[in-house]
Amino acid sequence: MERTIPNKIHIIGSIGSGKTTLAKTLSNRLKIPYYELDNVVWKRFDTGDIRRTEQERDEYLNSITNNKKWIIEGVHHTWVCPCFHHAELILFLDTDLSTRRMRIIKRFFRQKMGIEKANYKPTLKIFKDLYNYNTVFEYKSKPEIFDMLTPYNRKLVILKDNAEAIHYFN
């Protein structure tokens, strides 16, 4: 039986799990625009980022989910239930903790050297916060997310890496 390609995909996982890479890959392959939840939370300016109000954030998210096609990716989970509800497919990237830690370290150095774009100034404080949050995600946020996703189990796919995701779409 041939699988129908979904038009609304939500990708969730921790920092360094491969969400953005997967979203870009699927966006190019499926010709569906992708959105980063960090950019729903933050208005990006050259002079610095400004956090949207909850109302602005929710209205922006709603404007995205009302489109016919989208890929939304991010680690956020407490306020994105509309994404889960509207998504035709939810991909949870459950990448190994040690792999995510190595990716965070590599990303930090690549951003410091200007090889990789950053939406924020890569400081040691931010590096430490991202590294620590990754552990919090593993033991606190991940169980919360799985509980939140229980009503959506029929459209949830748990993947260990992007290769599994690409295989899923082949």
pLDDT band at 2 (very low <50, low <70, confident <90, very high): low
pLDDT band at 116 (very low <50, low <70, confident <90, very high): confident
* Burial class of residue 143, CB neighbours in 10 A (0-12, 13-18, 19+): exposed
Q: Which residue pairs, CB below 8 angstroms and at least 24 apart, start in 20-24?
A: 20/73, 21/162, 22/73, 22/91, 22/93, 22/162, 22/165, 23/71, 23/72, 23/73
pLDDT band at 26 (very low <50, low <70, confident <90, very high): very high
Question: Which residues have CB under 8 Å from 84's CB, separation 6+?
Answer: 10, 90, 148, 149, 151, 152
Q: What is the pLDDT of residue 166?
A: 78
pLDDT in tens, 59-93: 999 999 999 999 999 998 889 998 999 999 999 99
Q: What is the pLDDT of residue 167?
A: 84
For the entire predicted model, the pTM comes to 0.90
Instruction: Inform me whether the pLDDT recorded for 8 exceeds 60.
Output: yes
Instruction: Inform me whether the pLDDT recorded for 170 exceeds 90.
Output: no
List residues bridging with 74 in a β-sheet: 12
**Which tokens hold the place of 7?**
């038009």
Q: What is the mean pLDDT of the chain?
A: 91
Q: Is the model more confident about 1 or about 148?
A: 148
Q: Is the model more confident about 41 or about 170?
A: 41
Q: What is the pLDDT of residue 119?
A: 76
Domain map (residue ranges) of the chain: 8-169
Domain 8-169 class? alpha beta
pLDDT in tens, 134-161: 999 999 999 999 999 999 999 999 999 8
